[in-house]
Amino acid sequence: MKNLTAAERVAIARHPQRPNITDYIDGLFTDFFEMKGDRLCREDPAILGGVALYHDRPVTVIGTRKGKTAEESIRCNFGMPGPEGYRKALRLMRQAEKFRRPVLTFVDTSGAYPGLEAEARGQGEAIARNLYEMSRLTVPVITVITGEGNSGGALALAVADRVLMLENAVYAILSPEGFASILWKDAARHEEACGLMKLTAPDLLALGVTDDLIPEPEGGAHLAPARTIREVDRALSRHLAALLKESGPNLAAKRYLKFRKMGVSQSKEAAPPREEP
């Protein structure tokens, strides 16, 4: 398993039979109650969310939804949320804050939907608002990147105390195809892009962008979904137990610092502003 290339992992991460949010909800939680709608405009099936029991503890569960059949995929817009999806997610997170329950998010999306209506209703504002609000939640927040996590569309559910990543999941600024087409004007060079983007779970763990790597069965999660879900359960319960020992304000403060530190390697050169002469 150690010798997969980044491009091979991208292919596994996108496998149509890879466990999706519905599988994780069935396998990890009991008594899931789905909550729909952003209370402003509409229901976005590209994000699934609700309340459930996790080892008998009430939690808020939110995840992007990719379908396994063509029909299902079309219904949930291939897992590409619009602003309504992000606003629903935020509504559920605020509820989690109110009822003092942990937030568990599952990310598998090729990105936020680049559509006319999504723009008209403020895709950028919706994502920004989630980043802003998630950074100050005072309940534990754990994100599991289960498949693809692309762009601000993934990050909008991933400002978490712990970001866990399945071994063959990928997390990136955008798809390798998009990356190659922007940088080299040639989407066909996507495999080359995969190699440079540092998008695999081991790479991101080394960069400090993620906090843990969840092992997958040989060949990928789709070959043994039940085993994969057991591994996710093991990691989730371990991290959740640690976070539940912390006070709410402490969680928010540490989460802030975690993201605050990202990409400051060069800031040593930054002198503090001098006082007025």
Q: Which residues are at the interface with another protein (CB under 8 A)?
A: 112-116, 118-125, 127-129, 131-133, 135-136, 151-152, 155-156, 159, 171-174, 179, 182-183, 196-199, 204, 207, 209, 255-256, 259-260, 262-267, 269-271, 273, 276-277
Contact (CB, 8 A) for 211 and 6: no
Work out how close the CB of 53 gets to another protein at its nearest, in angstroms, rounded to a whole number: 29
Q: Which helix (H) or strand (E) holds 130?
A: helix 123-134
Work out how close the CB of 10 gets to another protein at its nearest, in angstroms, rounded to a whole number: 14
Reading the block at residue 97, the tokens are 């804050």
Reading the block at residue 105, the tokens are 């998010």
Contact (CB, 8 A) for 169 and 213: no
Work out how close the CB of 162 gets to another protein at its nearest, in angstroms, rounded to a whole number: 14
Phi-psi label, residue 176: left if phi above 0, alpha if psi -120 to 50, beta otherwise: alpha
In the DSSP assignment, the letter for residue 147 is: E
In the DSSP assignment, the letter for residue 265 is: T
Work out how close the CB of 204 gets to another protein at its nearest, in angstroms, rounded to a whole number: 7
Work out how close the CB of 126 gets to another protein at its nearest, in angstroms, rounded to a whole number: 8
Work out how close the CB of 91 gets to another protein at its nearest, in angstroms, rounded to a whole number: 18
Q: Given the complex with another protein, which of 28 and 255 has the nearer CB atom?
A: 255
Q: How far is CA 205 from CA 91, 212, 225, in A?
A: 30, 7, 23
What are the two backbone dihedrals, phi and then psi, of residue 139, each rounded to the nearest 5 degrees?
A: -115, 160
**In angstroms, how far is CA 148 from the centroid of its own chain?**
8
Q: Given the complex with another protein, which of 32 and 255 has the nearer CB atom?
A: 255
The C-alpha atoms of residue 260 and residue 251 are separated, in whole angstroms, by: 14
Sign of the dihedral through C-alpha 175, 144, 89, 66: positive
